[in-house]
A = this chain, B = another copy of it.
Protein backbone atom coordinates (compact mmCIF):
# COMPACT_ATOMS: atom_id res chain seq x y z
CA UNK A 1 0.00 0.00 0.00
CA UNK A 2 2.72 2.42 1.00
CA UNK A 3 4.51 1.51 -2.24
CA UNK A 4 1.44 2.50 -4.25
CA UNK A 5 1.10 5.80 -2.42
CA UNK A 6 4.78 6.55 -2.83
CA UNK A 7 4.66 5.61 -6.55
CA UNK A 8 1.67 7.83 -7.30
CA UNK A 9 3.42 11.26 -7.18
CA UNK A 10 6.31 9.86 -9.25
CA UNK A 11 3.80 8.64 -11.84
CA UNK A 12 2.08 12.03 -11.83
CA UNK A 13 5.41 13.76 -12.42
CA UNK A 14 6.16 11.41 -15.31
CA UNK A 15 2.65 11.97 -16.68
CA UNK A 16 3.09 15.75 -16.54
CA UNK A 17 6.40 15.50 -18.28
CA UNK A 18 4.93 13.34 -21.02
CA UNK A 19 1.95 15.67 -21.38
CA UNK A 20 4.22 18.68 -21.77
CA UNK A 21 6.30 16.94 -24.44
CA UNK A 22 3.13 15.88 -26.25
CA UNK A 23 1.67 19.41 -26.13
CA UNK A 24 4.88 20.79 -27.64
CA UNK A 25 4.99 18.19 -30.41
CA UNK A 26 1.32 18.72 -31.23
CA UNK A 27 1.92 22.48 -31.29
CA UNK A 28 4.68 22.01 -33.87
CA UNK A 29 2.31 20.08 -36.12
CA UNK A 30 -0.42 22.72 -35.68
CA UNK A 31 2.03 25.53 -36.43
CA UNK A 32 3.20 23.73 -39.58
CA UNK A 33 -0.41 23.47 -40.77
CA UNK A 34 -1.27 27.09 -39.87
CA UNK A 35 1.86 29.08 -40.68
CA UNK A 36 4.18 26.70 -42.55
CA UNK A 37 7.75 25.60 -41.86
CA UNK A 38 9.36 29.07 -42.00
CA UNK A 39 6.86 30.49 -39.51
CA UNK A 40 7.16 27.60 -37.04
CA UNK A 41 9.46 29.26 -34.52
CA UNK A 42 10.19 27.86 -31.04
CA UNK A 43 8.55 30.98 -29.57
CA UNK A 44 5.32 30.39 -31.48
CA UNK A 45 5.37 26.70 -30.55
CA UNK A 46 5.70 27.42 -26.80
CA UNK A 47 2.88 30.00 -27.01
CA UNK A 48 0.66 27.58 -28.91
CA UNK A 49 1.40 24.75 -26.50
CA UNK A 50 0.82 26.96 -23.45
CA UNK A 51 4.21 25.87 -22.14
CA UNK A 52 6.80 28.28 -20.73
CA UNK A 53 10.03 28.83 -22.65
CA UNK A 54 11.91 27.41 -19.67
CA UNK A 55 9.88 24.21 -19.65
CA UNK A 56 10.24 23.94 -23.42
CA UNK A 57 14.02 24.25 -23.17
CA UNK A 58 14.03 21.67 -20.38
CA UNK A 59 12.37 19.13 -22.67
CA UNK A 60 13.93 20.17 -25.97
CA UNK A 61 17.24 21.97 -25.77
CA UNK A 62 17.15 23.12 -29.41
CA UNK A 63 14.77 23.68 -32.31
CA UNK A 64 16.41 20.64 -33.91
CA UNK A 65 15.51 18.36 -30.99
CA UNK A 66 11.95 19.68 -30.95
CA UNK A 67 11.55 19.20 -34.69
CA UNK A 68 12.99 15.68 -34.52
CA UNK A 69 10.48 14.73 -31.81
CA UNK A 70 7.64 16.38 -33.76
CA UNK A 71 8.53 14.48 -36.94
CA UNK A 72 8.44 11.22 -34.97
CA UNK A 73 5.12 12.25 -33.42
CA UNK A 74 3.69 13.19 -36.82
CA UNK A 75 4.62 9.77 -38.17
CA UNK A 76 3.03 7.95 -35.21
CA UNK A 77 -0.11 10.10 -35.36
CA UNK A 78 -0.46 9.53 -39.10
CA UNK A 79 -0.16 5.77 -38.74
CA UNK A 80 -2.67 5.80 -35.87
CA UNK A 81 -5.16 7.90 -37.89
CA UNK A 82 -4.76 5.68 -40.94
CA UNK A 83 -5.36 2.46 -38.96
CA UNK A 84 -8.36 3.95 -37.16
CA UNK A 85 -9.91 4.99 -40.49
CA UNK A 86 -9.19 1.54 -41.87
CA UNK A 87 -10.78 -0.20 -38.85
CA UNK A 88 -13.87 1.99 -39.28
CA UNK A 89 -14.49 0.60 -42.78
CA UNK A 90 -16.83 -2.37 -43.04
CA UNK A 91 -15.50 -5.72 -44.32
CA UNK A 92 -15.04 -6.81 -47.04
CA UNK A 93 -13.75 -3.48 -48.35
CA UNK A 94 -14.43 -2.51 -51.94
CA UNK A 95 -11.67 -0.95 -54.06
CA UNK A 96 -13.20 2.58 -54.19
CA UNK A 97 -13.36 2.64 -50.38
CA UNK A 98 -9.67 1.68 -50.12
CA UNK A 99 -8.60 4.29 -52.68
CA UNK A 100 -10.83 6.84 -50.93
CA UNK A 101 -9.28 6.01 -47.55
CA UNK A 102 -5.74 6.53 -48.84
CA UNK A 103 -6.57 9.70 -50.75
CA UNK A 104 -8.41 11.13 -47.72
CA UNK A 105 -5.38 10.39 -45.56
CA UNK A 106 -3.07 12.34 -47.84
CA UNK A 107 -5.54 15.21 -48.21
CA UNK A 108 -5.69 15.61 -44.39
CA UNK A 109 -3.99 18.39 -42.34
CA UNK A 110 -1.47 15.83 -41.03
CA UNK A 111 -0.13 15.47 -44.55
CA UNK A 112 -0.13 19.25 -45.05
CA UNK A 113 2.24 19.37 -42.06
CA UNK A 114 4.35 16.56 -43.54
CA UNK A 115 4.42 18.36 -46.89
CA UNK A 116 5.84 21.48 -45.22
CA UNK A 117 8.66 19.37 -43.79
CA UNK A 118 9.10 17.45 -47.04
CA UNK A 119 9.62 20.53 -49.18
CA UNK A 120 11.74 22.38 -46.59
CA UNK A 121 13.93 19.27 -46.24
CA UNK A 122 14.94 19.49 -49.89
CA UNK A 123 17.18 22.48 -49.10
CA UNK A 124 17.94 21.71 -45.41
CA UNK A 125 20.38 18.84 -44.85
CA UNK A 126 19.66 18.34 -41.13
CA UNK A 127 15.91 18.29 -41.71
CA UNK A 128 16.31 15.90 -44.63
CA UNK A 129 17.89 13.29 -42.36
CA UNK A 130 14.74 13.43 -40.24
CA UNK A 131 12.18 13.56 -43.01
CA UNK A 132 13.47 10.77 -45.27
CA UNK A 133 12.56 8.14 -42.62
CA UNK A 134 9.14 9.82 -42.14
CA UNK A 135 8.50 9.69 -45.88
CA UNK A 136 9.52 6.01 -45.90
CA UNK A 137 7.33 5.20 -42.92
CA UNK A 138 4.20 6.82 -44.36
CA UNK A 139 4.87 5.20 -47.74
CA UNK A 140 5.36 1.71 -46.29
CA UNK A 141 2.37 2.01 -43.96
CA UNK A 142 -0.06 3.15 -46.67
CA UNK A 143 1.32 0.53 -49.06
CA UNK A 144 0.91 -2.31 -46.54
CA UNK A 145 -2.60 -1.14 -45.67
CA UNK A 146 -3.62 -0.98 -49.34
CA UNK A 147 -2.18 -4.44 -50.05
CA UNK A 148 -3.99 -5.92 -47.03
CA UNK A 149 -7.34 -4.26 -47.67
CA UNK A 150 -7.29 -4.98 -51.41
CA UNK A 151 -5.96 -8.50 -50.78
CA UNK A 152 -3.36 -7.99 -53.52
CA UNK A 153 -1.10 -10.80 -54.70
CA UNK A 154 2.07 -8.77 -55.19
CA UNK A 155 3.82 -11.62 -56.98
CA UNK A 156 1.58 -10.95 -59.98
CA UNK A 157 3.23 -8.86 -62.67
CA UNK A 158 2.43 -5.15 -62.30
CA UNK A 159 0.33 -5.57 -59.15
CA UNK A 160 2.89 -3.95 -56.86
CA UNK A 161 3.35 -1.04 -59.28
CA UNK A 162 -0.42 -0.53 -59.53
CA UNK A 163 -0.64 -0.18 -55.74
CA UNK A 164 2.37 2.16 -55.66
CA UNK A 165 0.85 4.26 -58.43
CA UNK A 166 -2.28 4.60 -56.28
CA UNK A 167 -0.18 6.10 -53.47
CA UNK A 168 1.67 8.46 -55.82
CA UNK A 169 -1.64 9.51 -57.34
CA UNK A 170 -3.01 10.16 -53.84
CA UNK A 171 -0.04 12.41 -53.01
CA UNK A 172 -0.49 14.26 -56.30
CA UNK A 173 -4.17 14.78 -55.51
CA UNK A 174 -3.19 16.06 -52.06
CA UNK A 175 -0.88 18.59 -53.70
CA UNK A 176 -3.70 19.76 -55.98
CA UNK A 177 -5.80 20.49 -52.89
CA UNK A 178 -3.31 22.73 -51.07
CA UNK A 179 -4.43 26.08 -52.50
CA UNK A 180 -7.99 25.46 -53.59
CA UNK A 181 -10.80 23.03 -52.78
CA UNK A 182 -10.30 20.31 -55.38
CA UNK A 183 -12.83 17.85 -53.94
CA UNK A 184 -15.25 17.73 -56.89
CA UNK A 185 -12.54 17.01 -59.48
CA UNK A 186 -10.82 14.61 -57.06
CA UNK A 187 -13.97 12.53 -56.54
CA UNK A 188 -14.24 11.92 -60.30
CA UNK A 189 -10.59 10.90 -60.55
CA UNK A 190 -10.85 8.58 -57.54
CA UNK A 191 -13.92 6.91 -59.10
CA UNK A 192 -12.20 6.46 -62.46
CA UNK A 193 -8.94 5.15 -60.99
CA UNK A 194 -10.73 2.80 -58.58
CA UNK A 195 -12.57 1.18 -61.50
CA UNK A 196 -9.29 0.74 -63.37
CA UNK A 197 -7.45 -0.60 -60.33
CA UNK A 198 -10.22 -3.06 -59.53
CA UNK A 199 -10.09 -4.40 -63.07
CA UNK A 200 -6.28 -4.49 -63.01
CA UNK A 201 -6.11 -6.49 -59.78
CA UNK A 202 -9.04 -8.82 -60.56
List the number of copies, as a whole number: 2
Give me 28 A-to-B residue pairs in the complex whose CB atoms sit less than 8 angstroms apart, sorted by A's number: A35-B123, A36-B122, A36-B123, A37-B38, A112-B122, A115-B119, A116-B119, A118-B179, A119-B178, A121-B178, A122-B178, A122-B179, A131-B179, A132-B179, A135-B176, A135-B179, A139-B176, A158-B192, A158-B195, A161-B188, A161-B191, A164-B185, A164-B189, A168-B172, A168-B173, A171-B175, A172-B175, A175-B175
A165 part of interface (Cβ distance < 8 Å): yes
**With A132-B179, A196-B196, A196-B200 already in contact, 9 other A-B pairs whose C-beta atoms are closer than 8 Å:** A36-B119, A37-B38, A38-B120, A112-B122, A122-B178, A135-B179, A158-B192, A165-B189, A172-B175
Give A24-82 interface residues, CB cut-off 8 Å to B: 34-39
Our pick among B39, B132, B200 for the contact of A180 (Cβ within 8 Å) is B132
Contact between A128 and B176 (Cβ–Cβ < 8 Å)?
A: no
Give A152-198 interface residues, CB cut-off 8 Å to B: 158, 161-162, 164-165, 167-173, 175-176, 178-180, 185, 188-189, 191-193, 195-196
Q: Specify the chain B residue showing the minimal Cβ separation from A187.
A: B161
Contact between B161 and A192 (Cβ–Cβ < 8 Å)?
A: yes
Which A residues have a C-beta under 8 Å from some C-beta of B? 34-39, 112, 115-116, 118-124, 128, 131-132, 135, 139, 158, 161-162, 164-165, 167-173, 175-176, 178-180, 185, 188-189, 191-193, 195-196, 200
Bound CA span A35–B131, Å:
17
CB contacts (< 8 Å) of A175 on chain B: these are 118, 168, 171-172, 175
Contact between B192 and A162 (Cβ–Cβ < 8 Å)?
A: yes
CB contacts (< 8 Å) of A191 on chain B: these are 161
CB contacts (< 8 Å) of A39 on chain B: these are 123
